[in-house]
Amino acid sequence: MRKALKWAGIGLGGLIALLILAAIVVYAWSEIILRRDFSAAAETLPAVSPAEKAAAPRLARVLGCLGCHGEGLKGKLMFDAPGVARVFAPNVTEVASKASDQQLAAGIRQGIGHDGRGLFIMPSPMYSRLTDRETAALVAWIRSLPRADGQTRGLSAGPLGRLGLVMGSFPSGPERVAEYRSEVPIVLGPEHEAARHLAATACSECHGPALMGGSVGPDEKTPDLRIAAGYDPAQFRTLMRTGRPPTGRDLGLMTTVSKQDFSHLTDAEIDSLHAYLVARAKRLGG
**Per residue in 132-185, pLDDT tens?**
999 999 999 999 999 988 766 677 888 888 888 888 778 888 989 988 988 999
- Domain 50-171 top-level CATH class: mainly alpha
3-state secondary structure 172-226: CHHHHHHHHHHCCCCCCCHHHHHHHHHHHHHCHHHHCCCCCCEEEECCEEECCHH
Instruction: Outline which parts of the chain fall under CATH 1.10.760.10.
Output: 183-284
**Per residue in 60-75, pLDDT tens?**
999 999 999 999 999 9
CA–CA separation, 123 and 257 (whole Å): 14
156: β partners: 86
Which segments within the chain are labelled E, that is strand? 76-81, 85-89, 155-157, 214-217, 220-222
Check residue 104 and give its pLDDT.
97
Report the greatest alpha carbon distance in the chain: 85
Is the confidence at residue 29, as pLDDT, over 80? Answer: no
Q: Which pTM does this prediction carry?
A: 0.87
Check residue 23 and give its pLDDT.
76
Share of the chain above pLDDT 90, in %: 63
139 — phi, psi (to 5°)? Answer: -65, -45
Query: Cβ(185)–Cβ(204) under 8 Å?
Result: yes
The hierarchical CATH code for the domain 183-284 is 1.10.760.10
CA–CA separation, 27 and 163 (whole Å): 8
